[in-house]
Structure 1
Amino acid sequence: MTQHLTIGERVAWYRRRRGMSQEVLAGLVGRTTDWLSKAENNRIELDRLSVIRTLADALDVSLGDLLAEPTLMEWSNESGRRTVPALREALMDYRLLTPLLRATAGDGEPPALADLRADVGAVWDAYQDSRYGFAARQLPLLLADALLAARSYSGTDREEAHALLAMTYQGAAMVLGKLGENELAWIAADRGLTAAQQSGSDVITGSLFRSVTHCLLSTGRFETAVDLVNDAAGVLQPGLGQASPAYLSVYGTLFLTGSMAAARAEDRATAQTFLREAEETAGRLGADANHMWTAFGPTNVAIHRVATAGELGDMQIAAEVGQQLDTSGLPTERRVRHNLEVARALSAWNRTDEALAMVLEAEQIAPEQVRHHYMSRELVLGWVRGTRGRPSRSVADLAERLRVV
């Protein structure tokens, strides 16, 4: 209903629905009425999730309501015509609630673990390539196969089957999070963590901790996400002495996610502490890598320094440092996410042409990711609203492709 509104306009829309005056809402969030009026009329950009979360709490709506999430997944040759609803059906199958309700016959033969491993890898590769339609199409069948394997195998094969089931659930959670389906993502992450604990693998469990942290971030529970990172780190730290590259990557990535949570909670000191821990871990790893599909290494740490600077309002630092980073060696998802962060910072400094170039470059690399990310939609809609007369052809065409006008 509010897809074509800016975040500020959505704040005004929900405020009026609540029968609340600007004076009352401004008081609830500790701002002046003049500030709120400017925010609702797009004269101030609401580009920090900490501020948007505060407004959502005061209006008693979700963070996703103000970000206009989820967004409709476009049909494509890769997605087919059964996308998120099919994945929702797979996650909400009542037979997953308890072993008492599971079918005991007629399931067929479980897939070979080698085949299942390849299929899980294909979904994760698609996620990192920002091919969400392909991943959404594959995940319902993959979940069925992984569940059957976890029920059918025994011994060490059973542990591997649960590890693959956990990674399937995590893949579902990550894809759903990108699409703004945060409640479904939470279900997937929760199920994945349960499966991970039956895998006997600290690496798999650590990977799922990251997924749960992402879900908390997506729903605006920033302080809880920080607490989870601290608790999860306590679980993983005993294994650091003889840590494998995969273990180091999972551990370091957990702190990168935590740094974003701390920044969105406006906890600058903790954000810096988490970034230092991630940087030390990347130093132990020695170079950029992609163990467990983490894209972890020094460059990803640098990317998060830029992103946390933006979340903390240090837009000039984010713009200057962000433009200097070479992300060409990282997976598509990381490169595009960084482009959007730098575009946001440039736009905040009224360097709109440079910001537009960053978004267009990102769209060329990964149109699905740009289409579904609130930041790109909000930037483009803000440029359309803020232009006297008609926006430029480049902005107008981009707005049409993103379905924001």
Structure 2
Amino acid sequence: MSRVVLAGLVGRSPSWVKAVECGRLQTPKLHTILRIADALRVGDLADLTGDQTTHVDLFAGPGHQRLPAVKAAVDAFLLPSDLEAPPTEHLQARLARAWRARHSAPNHRDVIGRLLPDLIRDAQLAVRQSETGAARRAAQAVLSEVYSLSQFFIAYQPDAHLLWRVAERGMVAARESEDPHALGVAAWLAAQAHRDSGPAHYDAADAVTMETLEYLQPLLTDADADVLAITGALRFEAGYTAARRGDNGTAWGHWDKAKAMSKSLPAGYYHPITSFSEAIMGAHAVTVAVELRAGGESVKQAAAADALTIPSLPRRARHRIEEARGYQLDGQPDTALATLDKAFESAPETIRYNGYAKGIILEGTESRTPARRRRAAELAVKIGLLAA
């Protein structure tokens, strides 16, 4: 990333960035360090400051208690030979219940972390024991979706290698399935994994997104709602990546196309994996504005969006965090903290593992305003960032 780009992302001049790099200026204050960490996607503040005595994980949580069991299921090499795979229809029903639980439970990682080990094993068995090509393709589609569910659990956990292993296996299974919806979902998650790896991976995120959109486009005339929705979700992902680049026109252009796609869906439709729907487009607008570092526009879009129309509790909490980022950009730190409180009420496990939320809260604990400092400290205790 060039100094000019980094300077723009943190609201400083290129000469200021150079002065910090060369040691001509003292170490910036915490809120500036957090902004730099945000722009560079640094996972641990110690990597940025050089102070190895203070480790603060920003983009990875401390590790969920069910992570070892999920990892063991993913890593298992030899499947039990004495077990019979359940029917594909049975696995599909279990998956549907797991997605519903994921969207409705405030402690969603705990819920799906409990379900995943058996789902992973049984889906792998179903592929292995398939006797016909059609049965194998159907089993691969289910396995790909199980890996997609796994990515939601593993995201923001301290195991990037496991996340990539699951993402790649999900893509392989989706290709083997020849199922457009499975391919779309796997690509949607792979694009996010690339983008969240930092600016050097934005091109890879774009390649996955645009190639999959090109594949899906001829199928849309006769497509069902799920395929239309994953196409719309991918279109928004293209806009999200463009916003990360700072490309205003491209970002909003993709958002407009995604908005049009959402209007083609049945009334009340809500995609069970991506949350794509008409209801989510307001939240997506907030995200685009935030990633473009447009504080005023972020607040404007937040006022227009209705979080309560988002049925998924973790997705609603994620939207609240994006709103908080907008308020923070707009110079409204107290409103940002109040919004993070709402995120915690919706889904504590979402805010607990979100680096942006941690950054806003940590900055609040350094405030010179006693009331703000106290509120931030209370929230830091609630999410486990500080000890009581």
Both proteins in one fold, TM over 0.5 = yes
Pick from 292, 298, 307: which aligns with 1:318? 298
Q: Deviations over 1:10-47 (max 9, x none)?
A: xxxxxxxxxxxxxxxx9999824269958831253744
Pick from 347, 356, 360: which aligns with 1:375? 356
Q: Deviations over 1:55-111 (max 9, x none)?
A: 99xx799xxx98534212455xxxxxxx11222222223x2xxxxxx56x7241111
Pick from 264, 273, 294: which aligns with 1:284? 264
Pick from 38, 60, 68: which aligns with 1:85? 68
Q: What does residue 204 of structure 2 align with?
A: 224
- After superposition, the Cα gap between the structure-2 partners of 1:27 and 1:307, relative to the gap in structure 1 and judged at 3 Å, is closer
5 Å-filtered alignment, 1:66-105, equals: 68-73=58-63, 75=65, 83-93=66-76, 95=77, 102=78
Q: Find out whether 1:144 has 2:132 as its counterpart.
A: no
Q: Distance in 2 between matches of 1:290 and 1:178?
A: 24
- After superposition, the Cα gap between the structure-2 partners of 1:383 and 1:326, relative to the gap in structure 1 and judged at 3 Å, is same
Pick from 181, 193, 211: which aligns with 1:203? 181
Q: Distance in 2 between matches of 1:39 and 1:322?
A: 34
5 Å-filtered alignment, 1:30-45, equals: 31-33=17-19, 40-44=28-32
Q: Find out whether 1:387 has 2:368 as its counterpart.
A: yes
- Letter of the structure 1 residue corresponding to residue 28 of structure 2: E
Q: Distance in 2 between matches of 1:305 and 1:29?
A: 32
Pick from 219, 232, 243: which aligns with 1:252? 232
- Percent identity over the alignment is 23
Tell me how large the CA RMSD over aligned residues is: 3.0
Q: Distance in 2 between matches of 1:43 and 1:144?
A: 45
Matched residue count: 360
- After superposition, the Cα gap between the structure-2 partners of 1:385 and 1:60, relative to the gap in structure 1 and judged at 3 Å, is closer
Q: What does residue 17 of structure 1 align with?
A: none
5 Å-filtered alignment, 1:126-141, equals: 126-129=101-104, 131-141=108-118
Q: Deviations over 1:312-365 (max 9, x none)?
A: 110111012212311212211221111111111112333222222211111011
Q: Deviations over 1:173-221 (max 9, x none)?
A: 1221143543322111110111112223111111111011111122112
**Contact residue 256 and residue 274 of structure 1 kept, 8 A:** yes
Q: What does residue 267 of structure 1 align with?
A: 247
- After superposition, the Cα gap between the structure-2 partners of 1:351 and 1:30, relative to the gap in structure 1 and judged at 3 Å, is closer
Gaps of 5+ in 2: 1-11, 50-54
Q: Distance in 1 between matches of 2:275 and 2:362?
A: 31
Q: Find out whether 1:172 has 2:150 as its counterpart.
A: yes
Pick from 125, 129, 139: which aligns with 1:161? 139
Q: Find out whether 1:109 has 2:84 as its counterpart.
A: yes
- After superposition, the Cα gap between the structure-2 partners of 1:38 and 1:349, relative to the gap in structure 1 and judged at 3 Å, is farther
**Contact residue 340 and residue 376 of structure 1 kept, 8 A:** yes
Q: Distance in 1 between matches of 2:68 and 2:301?
A: 41
- After superposition, the Cα gap between the structure-2 partners of 1:180 and 1:150, relative to the gap in structure 1 and judged at 3 Å, is same
Deviation, structure 1 residue 50: 7.3
Q: What does residue 80 of structure 1 align with?
A: none
Q: Distance in 2 between matches of 1:364 and 1:260?
A: 26
Deviation, structure 1 residue 158: 2.6
Q: Find out whether 1:396 has 2:377 as its counterpart.
A: yes
Q: Distance in 2 between matches of 1:29 and 1:168?
A: 49
- After superposition, the Cα gap between the structure-2 partners of 1:261 and 1:66, relative to the gap in structure 1 and judged at 3 Å, is farther
Q: Distance in 1 between matches of 2:127 and 2:239?
A: 34
- After superposition, the Cα gap between the structure-2 partners of 1:287 and 1:265, relative to the gap in structure 1 and judged at 3 Å, is farther
Q: What does residue 186 of structure 1 align with?
A: 164
Q: What does residue 328 of structure 1 align with?
A: 308
Q: Distance in 2 between matches of 1:133 and 1:29?
A: 47
Q: Distance in 2 between matches of 1:45 and 1:325?
A: 30
**Contact residue 132 and residue 368 of structure 1 kept, 8 A:** yes
Where do 4+ consecutive residues of structure 1 move more than 6 Å?
26-30
Q: Distance in 1 between matches of 2:19 and 2:232?
A: 42
- After superposition, the Cα gap between the structure-2 partners of 1:66 and 1:250, relative to the gap in structure 1 and judged at 3 Å, is farther
- Letter of the structure 2 residue corresponding to residue 278 of structure 1: A
Deviation, structure 1 residue 381: 0.7
Q: Distance in 2 between matches of 1:372 and 1:29?
A: 34
SS of 1:298's partner is: coil
Q: Distance in 2 between matches of 1:39 and 1:300?
A: 40
Deviation, structure 1 residue 302: 2.3
